[in-house]
């Protein structure tokens, strides 16, 4: 009997510890999401302030559309973060409802047991513990009765404490559930507001694009943003290469490769999977623009695909950067170890986060038109030892 009670008590403790761990995980995730959301909101406000100050000086179509693109990219990431937090809060609400129902059912069972014990004691006429011991016919029987009466007394005390604990826990869960429901409602309203703002910006962007497409000078100025973007990306890669955190990333990547039994990036030249489905519309190196009669440098390849189609990591690694780059839109950079990096631009609906680990084939985003003048596409680059490499020489032959 005593052994069974101990087992039940230990099981209760284990379930309590797991409940506490789940709560801590939820709280940590919520803090992380809140930080990400507040950071993005701050970035959007700073960008709007910067645009407002520059409007009086810069009124070109290329400036307006680039500013719109950057704001759209940040708003899209904000919407994604709000969706994640809303989903997390909704899951927490479901969990709280389940826990609350389980505790209320357990409380009802305990109440019924307690009530039955009281009724039985009243109907049968309950002897005091001392009377039960003295009514024993032998010394051994008295000892057994003393021992088991103590166990029964302990059980009753535990039963009472359990009821009290459940009442407190149910009260706390109800308060937390109410708070989570309020939080979920706020998140939903905020998400709807941002989505409405995003739709309006998309309409304005399309109007600006139509103007640019019919104006060669404006189109040339807009395409010139890519030169700025190339320099911006080169500076980011340089910072990533000089970042002290790269040593930690290298170790994490080595551990990942050992666990998954995958080869190093340099050993997979010509055998890496494609990051997206589609056809190449711009190759690596110098490109001739027949419309503008100009030559530009392409640091990667451009893949034209279906809007919203999946963008996948071509190999395992650690995400170093998620940012907006002029002329290239929302951009993700992944460190694959050994000095090799891949770059994914014009993406939307990001599915990863900075410092997050990804594996070969993981969906990291979806194909969009962020920073693109001619619809949805993926701009893809491979960097090795600080140099731009021709991706087609590293990917499998189609």
pLDDT of the residue at 383: 96
The pLDDT of residue 24 = 52
The pLDDT assigned to 390 comes to: 96
Q: Where are the domains of the chain?
A: 2-213, 226-393
| d(C-alpha 249, C-alpha 207), whole Å | 43
Q: What is the pLDDT of residue 55?
A: 60
Tens of each residue's pLDDT in the chain, 398 residues: 444 434 434 444 444 444 444 555 656 665 666 777 888 788 778 777 776 766 655 567 777 778 888 888 889 888 988 998 898 889 889 988 998 898 888 888 877 876 776 666 555 544 444 444 444 455 555 455 455 445 555 556 677 777 788 888 888 888 888 988 998 899 899 989 998 988 888 888 888 777 777 777 777 777 777 888 888 999 999 999 888 888 999 999 999 999 988 999 999 999 999 999 999 999 998 877 766 667 778 999 999 999 999 999 999 999 999 999 988 999 999 999 999 999 999 999 999 999 999 999 999 999 998 888 788 999 999 999 889 999 999 999 87
Chain centroid to CA 166:
34
CATH annotation of 226-393: 2.70.70.10
CA distance 68 to 47: 10
According to DSSP, residue 299 is labeled: S
- What's the confidence (pLDDT) of residue 235? 92
Instruction: Report pLDDT for 315.
Output: 96
d(CA 208, CA 72): 14
pLDDT of residue 9: 42
pTM of the model: 0.71
pLDDT in the model for residue 335: 96
Cα separation, 84 vs 23, whole angstroms: 17
Query: Are 311 and 276 within 8 A, CB to CB?
Result: yes
pLDDT at 348: 92
- Quick one: pLDDT at residue 145? 46
Q: What DSSP letter does each residue of 273-291 carry, written as one string?
A: PPSSSSEEEE-SEEEEETT
C-alpha 242: how far from chain center: 27
pLDDT at residue 249 in the model: 93
The answer to whether residues 350 and 77 touch, using CB atoms and an 8 Å cutoff, is yes
DSSP states along 223-252: HTHHHHHHHHHHHHHHHHHH-THHHHHHHH
């Amino acid at each position: 009997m005593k052994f069974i009670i101990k087992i039940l008590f230990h099981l209760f403790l284990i379930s309590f510890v797991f409940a506490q761990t789940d709560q801590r995980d939820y709280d940590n995730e919520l803090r992380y999401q809140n930080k990400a959301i507040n950071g993005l909101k701050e970035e959007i406000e700073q960008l709007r302030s910067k645009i407002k100050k520059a409007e009086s000086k810069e009124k070109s179509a290329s400036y307006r559309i680039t500013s719109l693109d950057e704001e759209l990219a940040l708003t899209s990431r904000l919407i994604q973060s709000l969706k994640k937090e809303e989903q997390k809060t909704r899951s927490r609400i479901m969990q709280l409802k389940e826990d609350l129902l389980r505790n209320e059912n357990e409380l009802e069972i305990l109440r019924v047991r307690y009530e039955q014990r009281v009724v039985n004691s009243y109907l049968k006429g309950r002897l005091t513990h001392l009377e039960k011991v003295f009514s024993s016919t032998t010394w051994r029987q008295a000892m057994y009765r003393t021992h088991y009466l103590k166990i029964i007394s302990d059980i009753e005390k535990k039963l009472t404490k359990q009821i009290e604990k459940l009442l407190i826990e149910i009260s706390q869960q109800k308060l937390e559930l109410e708070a989570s429901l309020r939080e979920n409602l706020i998140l939903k309203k905020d998400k709807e507001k941002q989505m409405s703002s995003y739709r309006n910006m998309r309409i304005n962007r399309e109007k600006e694009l139509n103007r640019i497409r019919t104006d060669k000078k404006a189109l040339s100025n807009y395409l010139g943003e890519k030169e700025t973007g190339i320099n911006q990306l080169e500076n980011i890669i340089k910072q990533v290469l000089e970042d002290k955190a790269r040593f930690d990333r290298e170790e994490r990547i080595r551990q990942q490769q050992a666990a998954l039994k995958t080869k190093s990036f340099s050993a997979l030249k010509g055998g890496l999977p494609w990051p997206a489905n589609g056809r190449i519309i711009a190759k690596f190196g110098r490109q001739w623009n027949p419309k503008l009669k100009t030559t530009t440098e392409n640091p990667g390849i451009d893949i034209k695909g279906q809007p919203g189609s999946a963008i996948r990591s071509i190999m395992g690694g650690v995400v170093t950067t998620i940012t907006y780059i002029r002329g290239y839109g929302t951009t993700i950079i992944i460190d694959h170890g050994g000095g090799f990096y891949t770059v994914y631009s014009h993406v939307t609906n990001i599915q990863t986060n900075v410092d997050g680990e990804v594996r070969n084939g993981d969906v990291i985003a979806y194909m969009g038109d962020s920073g693109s003048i001619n619809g949805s596409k993926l701009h893809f680059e491979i960097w090795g030892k600080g140099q731009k490499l021709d991706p087609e020489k590293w990917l499998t032959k189609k």
